[in-house]
A and B are shown apart, each in its own frame.
Chain A
Amino acid sequence: GAVVSQHPSWVICKSGTSVKIECRSLDFQATTMFWYRQFPKQSLMLMATSNEGSKATYEQGVEKDKFLINHASLTLSTLTVTSAHPEDSSFYICSARGEGTEAFFGQGTRLTVV
């Protein structure tokens, strides 16, 4: 199946710093990318949907100024957690979908803010 690569797989950062997570579709053009957050023993929660070249659509309750999403090309979307705090520690996962295809998931990024 298609491959979606997410990087880094884990990151530890200091409170107040920003962290960027990348999501790449390696062998298809991702017209739509999704960013999810997963707390322990909880289901994935959609944070935002991004289409290439346009602004991301954020779900209710997700701060767009805190979670910056950029989808500048058909193969790359980034999520930047700005001014991270310990409560932002979570598992972040992206998925990507091309024209007429199902969504493929990245491996996820475990963020720990200390």
Chain B
Amino acid sequence: KNEVEQSPQNLTAQEGEFITINCSYSVGISALHWLQQHPGGGIVSLFMLSSGKKKHGRLIATINIQEKHSSLHITASHPRDSAVYICAVRLQGGSEKLVFGKGTKLTVNP
């Protein structure tokens, strides 16, 4: 079992829909990242969370440390949101390393 599990693996939505991507982890962490990878491969860091909730534009990320679970929400989705969304955790203990989920491929149709 992977230390970081994402669901769903693939997600297709219609433009305007509210989207939720989930991430569960089984290890102690110091921070959790949500990343966006476009078809060309480049990765953009969307959020870094250690508790609570963060919002940036149409994107909202939440984390529940007790339940070891995080969600990424996209409101009013748009075709340009189509990408792979990756959850990554930084392990506790001062580690520099990130452990990545396999990603969720999101396709938003017009």
User: Nearest Cβ distance between residue A107 and chain B, in whole angstroms?
Assistant: 4
The reply to whether the CB of B45 lies closer than 8 angstroms to some CB of chain A is yes
Contact, CB under 8 Å: B102 / A107 = no
The docked-state distance in angstroms from the alpha carbon of A104 to that of B103 is 18
Which among B42, B44, B96 is the interface contact of A97 at CB below 8 angstroms?
A: B96
Contact, CB under 8 Å: B96 / A110 = no
A interface size (C-beta, 8 A): 24
Specify which chain B residues have a CB less than 8 angstroms from the CB of A79 in the assembled complex: none
Contact, CB under 8 Å: A105 / B43 = yes
Given A102-B48, A103-B45, A49-B103 contact (CB < 8 Å): no
Contact, CB under 8 Å: B102 / A43 = yes
Specify which chain B residues have a CB less than 8 angstroms from the CB of A61 in the assembled complex: none
Contact, CB under 8 Å: A43 / B100 = yes
Given A102-B33, A105-B35, A46-B44 contact (CB < 8 Å): no
Which among A32, A42, A43, A106 is the interface contact of B42 at CB below 8 angstroms?
A: A106
The reply to whether the CB of A1 lies closer than 8 angstroms to some CB of chain B is yes
User: Nearest Cβ distance between residue A67 and chain B, in whole angstroms?
Assistant: 17
The docked-state distance in angstroms from the alpha carbon of A46 to that of B91 is 14
Specify which chain A residues have a CB less than 8 angstroms from the CB of B86 in the assembled complex: 43-44
Known: A42-B102, A45-B100. 9 other contacts (CB 8 A): A34-B97, A34-B98, A43-B86, A43-B102, A91-B41, A103-B45, A103-B98, A104-B45, A105-B43
- Name 7 A/B residue pairs within 8 A (Cβ), A-sorted: A38-B41, A43-B102, A44-B88, A46-B98, A93-B43, A102-B45, A102-B48
